[in-house]
């Protein structure tokens, strides 16, 4: 059983689920969501931009911070950079 903490525009909501975080990860769109740490999955559209190197923590647009594991920093940086460039091109 997993606890899912949903940080939405109207606040934080805790939801208990009968599936693992890995199973949740498999259900989500990998082009929009990424696992940043063993306990966290983030929506790439909700991440505040950062300068140059990937940070140790990711700041979300609601001010919350989530950890970015050392093993996932390079992968995160590559995926997020690609996501941002695609998002930018789509908004032109």
The confidence band for 88, taking pLDDT boundaries of 50, 70 and 90, is low
Contact call for residues 8 and 46 (beta carbons, < 8 A): no
Q: Tell me what pLDDT residue 35 has.
A: 92
CATH 2.30.40.10 fits 2-90, yes or no: no
45: CB partners within 8 A, 6+ apart: 32, 87
Digit-coded pLDDT (tens) for 40-83 = 899 999 898 887 777 889 998 888 899 999 999 999 989 998 88
Q: What percent of the chain has pLDDT over 90?
A: 20
Q: Tell me what pLDDT residue 71 has.
A: 94
Q: What does the alpha-carbon distance between residue 83 and residue 37 come to, in Å, rounded to a whole number?
A: 19
Q: Tell me what pLDDT residue 9 has.
A: 61
Domain boundaries, the chain: 2-90
Contact call for residues 46 and 20 (beta carbons, < 8 A): no
Total Cβ atoms within 10 A of residue 34: 22
């Amino acid at each position: 059983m997993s606890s899912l903490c949903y940080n939405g525009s109207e606040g934080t909501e805790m939801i208990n689920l009968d599936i693992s975080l890995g199973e949740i990860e498999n259900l989500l769109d990998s082009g929009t969501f990424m696992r940043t740490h063993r306990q966290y999955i983030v929506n790439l559209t909700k991440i505040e931009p950062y300068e140059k190197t990937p940070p140790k923590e990711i700041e979300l647009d609601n001010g919350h911070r989530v950890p970015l594991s050392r093993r996932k920093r390079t992968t995160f940086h590559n995926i997020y950079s690609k996501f941002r460039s695609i998002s930018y091109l789509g908004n032109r």
